[in-house]
Structures are given as C-alpha cells and as structure tokens.
Amino acid sequence: MFGQLSHETEVKVGAGKAWELYGTLKLALLAKQELSHVIVDILEGDGGVGTLVKLTFERLSFTEKYTKVDHERRVKETEAIEGGLLDMGLTLFRVRLEVIGEDKEESCVLKSTIEYEVADGASSDVSIISIKPLADIAEIAKEHFTASVGAN
C-alpha cells in the first residue's frame, strides 16, 4: 500500500531566500533549536546528497539519508534508511521539501510531502505517520523569515 501526505505554507520571502534555509543543514539546525520534542543529530555530511541525520521524536527514532538536493528546482528529498517506521513494516518513508516560487517575488510556498509504502502483508499502523512535524518546521521557518525581515 502506498500513501502520501502533504502540507503547504506561504512565507513572505522570495524563493531564493527560503531555499538558503530549506536547501541546507540550517533547517535541521533550526528545528533542533526550536522543537523541544525533536532531537536532531547530524551524523555525517554537509547537507548534500549522502548526508545522514538521526531524528528522534517522542515515540520514534530513525536515520534518514539525503537522496536528492536540487538547487535549481529547489527540491530536497530524504529517505529513512534505519529504524523507526522501517522497523514497523514500511518499505519506504520519503520526505520531499520544495520551495515553490521565484526569486523576485515577495513570497513563496514551502511544500512538504511524505511518501510511504507498507510491505505486502505487513500490519503497520500508518495512523502514526503525520505531516505535523513538517508543518511545525514550516511554521518555525515562517517565523524565522518574519524575524529576519523585521531585523533588516
């Protein structure tokens, strides 16, 4: 069984400015700083393809690998490679972060998508999969951009 969840948030900065945060490890560091219920450990890498990050939530911990960082299209994808939902019967857990818009515009959209697949015959409880952590990160990014604009 394949499933998908997504969330969009509009922010009042151009896409290039938003990608400076979303396309780098700065987003993981911001989440680590602002979300007390999430532990973020950068295990390896500089934010490019191959970077490994361990995420720990209240009931779940997994390691993800950056599999795509497309600066031109402003798309970053990660896939869980160990732990968490994979231990519960999922064969795929992918997160896609996109910044949609133009540099010269005064706003853009932060789109977060989760794609998952449950192994045939597995009895995984997919209700545990939630877009909320990514929506929370988008809101923190929005607050970050608002504070940055106000500081200028």
User: Parallel, antiparallel, or unpaired: how do β-strands 39-44 and 61-70 relate?
Assistant: unpaired
Instruction: Give the domain CATH number at 29.
Output: 3.30.530.20
Query: Is 76 annotated as catalytic?
Result: yes
Q: Helix/strand/coil (H, E, C) string of 1-54? A: CEEEEEEEEEECCCHHHHHHHHCCCHHHHHHHHHCCCCEEEEEECCCCCCCEEE
Return mean pLDDT, the chain. Answer: 91
Residue in 32, 68, 76, 132 annotated catalytic: 76
Kindly report, residue by residue over 77-128, the tens digit of the pLDDT. Answer: 999 999 988 888 899 999 999 999 998 889 999 999 999 998 777 666 778 8
Identify the domain containing residue 131 by its residue range: 2-151
Band of the pLDDT at 150, cuts 50, 70, 90?
low
Count of the separate structural domains present in the chain: 1
